[in-house]
């Protein structure tokens, strides 16, 4: 009987739709690791593509029902047409929901990748600060050399806050949705702790270098005064020597 065959096709399609809804839309997903999130994105993509492939099946069933209705007595029309309408609506809703959930997870995955990218940039900057702090730990030379070290450190510290703000916002977006909250909080805590530590060390180093510059300037000034004094004495002694003056005949400091 053609009606029985059509109803069987309709029933099988309904079962597939119900199963897909339970598997991909009604099941609770937990994304605690990047692997779990990536796997979910791939699963939803496959499910979306599989649902789209069923469009051919739905069209064949639709054509078969419509062809049957065109030839069958009116009494058989209403129930079969109603079942077909329910199937088409359920199928379209499934495709729409699968596509929506897949897009959402794609955006979540992109958000996670963006967070990692910003963290990578900022950690590289922190690495540079760490190296600079080591390089300025025992600066040798006079006020000019120390001043150059201070300038280079201050230039490096003039780093915009934009990336750190982005990290904070992206992390908040993910953890608010319960996405890898433990992992993200751990990464943020480690990053912020290191950021604060190096910032404080950089401020201490800046003050230390400023004090070193002041000390070096005072030392330079003292040395310059000594050199000027020695030059004056040298000139005076040279004049005494040229005039063959005996040491006992000159002032005590010249002796």
44-84 pLDDT, tens per residue?
999 999 999 999 999 999 999 999 888 877 766 788 889 99
Query: What are the structural domain ranges in the chain?
Result: 2-212
Q: What pLDDT is recorded for position 1?
A: 66
Rounded CA-CA distance 52/95 in Å is: 7
pLDDT tens for residues 7-29? 899 999 999 999 999 999 987 77
DSSP 29-65: P---SHHHHHHHHHHHHHHHHHHHHTHHHHHHHHHHH
Q: Which stretches of the chain drop beneath a pLDDT of 50?
A: none
Rounded CA-CA distance 118/174 in Å is: 15
Which pTM was predicted?
A: 0.78
Q: What pLDDT is recorded for position 76?
A: 63
Helix (H, G, I), strand (E, B) or coil at 180: coil
Looking at the structure, give the CATH architecture of the domain made up of residues 2-212.
Up-down Bundle (1.20)
Q: What pLDDT is recorded for position 29?
A: 74
Rounded CA-CA distance 153/130 in Å is: 10
Q: What pLDDT is recorded for position 250?
A: 62
Assess contact for 163 and 121: CB atoms under 8 A.
yes
């Amino acid at each position: 009987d053609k009606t029985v065959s059509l109803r069987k096709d309709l029933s099988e399609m309904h079962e597939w739709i119900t199963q897909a809804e339970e598997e991909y839309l009604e099941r609770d997903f937990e994304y605690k690791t990047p692997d779990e999130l990536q796997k979910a994105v791939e699963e939803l993509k496959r499910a979306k593509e599989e649902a789209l492939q069923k469009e051919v099946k739905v069209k064949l069933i639709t054509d078969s029902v419509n062809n049957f209705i065109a030839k069958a007595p009116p009494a058989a029309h209403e129930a079969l047409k109603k079942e077909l309408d329910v199937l088409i609506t359920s199928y379209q809703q499934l495709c729409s929901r699968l596509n929506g959930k897949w897009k959402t997870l794609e955006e979540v995955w992109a958000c996670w990748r963006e967070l990692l990218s910003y963290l990578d940039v900022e950690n590289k900057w922190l690495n540079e600060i760490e190296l600079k702090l080591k390089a300025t730990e025992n600066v040798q030379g006079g006020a000019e050399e120390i001043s150059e070290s201070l300038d280079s450190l201050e230039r490096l510290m003039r780093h915009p806050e934009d990336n750190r703000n982005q990290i904070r916002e992206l992390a908040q977006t993910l953890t608010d949705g319960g996405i890898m909250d433990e992992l993200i909080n751990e990464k943020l805590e480690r990053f912020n702790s290191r950021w604060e530590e190096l910032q404080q060390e950089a401020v201490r180093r800046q003050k230390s270098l400023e004090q070193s510059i002041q000390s070096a300037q005072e030392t330079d000034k003292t040395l310059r005064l000594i050199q000027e004094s020695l030059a004056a004495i040298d000139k005076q002694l040279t004049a005494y020597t040229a005039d063959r003056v005996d040491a006992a005949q000159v002032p005590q400091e010249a002796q």
